[in-house]
């Protein structure tokens, strides 16, 4: 039986042969990446993240929604437990919000398109509106603010905002690291 998965499993066979397991521990890069699920913006490739480096939270647009904030709160709790609450003083973690140009969610900024999408998919129009990234500079900034003002953001957690340019492959920082 072949499926779309067959060539990917072929790749995985090679991968597993040279594999070294990563033990459960704190992510080495000390960042949590929030970005779009777009297949052109995989941060493992654009930022060189390797296994064990960083948790990556992805949704349409890379928007800081309530579920994303809850994941971050849980990850911080888990990190505390894994480290036995012994995180050294200097080891601050940072949430890195990366939005990108040419985002497929930009169409959702148009009310007519949004209404059609809601009717065709059954997804709530407000949920679709919350995904929209029409201008990544504006939404990256807004989402950094949303995280910083959330009561669920773990203490000492930094937040920064960036834009990935689909045309150049370059990431530009829009908001330098801030703390609540
Ligand atoms: Zn996108």
pLDDT at 154 over 70: yes
Cα distances (angstroms) measured from residue 164 to each of 64, 102, 137: 16, 10, 10
The string of pLDDT tens digits covering residues 6-37 is: 999 999 999 999 999 999 999 999 999 999 99
Tell how far the Cα of 144 is from the centroid of ligand 1, in angstroms: 17
Do the beta carbons of residue 81 and residue 88 sit within 8 Å? no
Name which residue leads in pLDDT, 88 or 158.
158
The string of pLDDT tens digits covering residues 111-129 is: 999 999 999 999 999 999 9
Q: How confident is the model at residue 87 (pLDDT cuts 50, 70, 90)?
A: low
- The predicted model scores a pTM of 0.94
Separation CA 71–CA 79 (nearest Å): 12
Tell how far the Cα of 2 is from the centroid of ligand 1, in angstroms: 30
Q: How confident is the model at residue 86 (pLDDT cuts 50, 70, 90)?
A: low
The string of pLDDT tens digits covering residues 51-82 is: 999 999 999 999 999 999 999 999 999 998 88
Residues surrounding ion ligand 1 at CB below 5 Å:
36, 38, 103
Tell how far the Cα of 137 is from the centroid of ligand 1, in angstroms: 13
Tell how far the Cα of 86 is from the centroid of ligand 1, in angstroms: 37
Tell how far the Cα of 58 is from the centroid of ligand 1, in angstroms: 10
Three-state SS for 109?
A: helix
Handedness of CA 114, 64, 152, 52 (dihedral sign): positive
Q: How confident is the model at residue 2 (pLDDT cuts 50, 70, 90)?
A: confident
């Amino acid at each position: 039986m072949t499926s779309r998965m067959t060539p990917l499993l072929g790749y995985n066979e090679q991968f597993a042969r040279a594999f070294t397991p990563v033990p459960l521990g704190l992510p080495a890069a000390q960042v949590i990446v929030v970005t779009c699920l777009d297949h052109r913006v995989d941060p493992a490739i654009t930022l060189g993240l390797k296994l064990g480096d960083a948790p990556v939270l992805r949704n349409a647009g890379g928007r800081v929604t309530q579920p994303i904030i809850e994941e971050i709160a849980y990850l911080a709790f888990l990190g505390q437990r894994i480290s036995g609450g012994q995180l050294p003083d200097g080891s601050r973690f940072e949430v890195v919000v990366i939005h990108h140009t040419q985002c497929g969610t930009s169409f959702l900024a148009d009310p007519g398109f949004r209404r059609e999408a809601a009717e065709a998919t059954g997804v709530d129009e407000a949920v679709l509106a919350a995904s929209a990234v029409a201008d990544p500079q504006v939404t990256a900034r807004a989402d950094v603010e949303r995280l910083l003002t959330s009561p669920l953001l773990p203490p000492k957690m930094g937040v920064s905002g960036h834009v990935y340019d689909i045309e150049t492959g370059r990431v530009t920082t829009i908001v330098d690291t801030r703390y609540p």
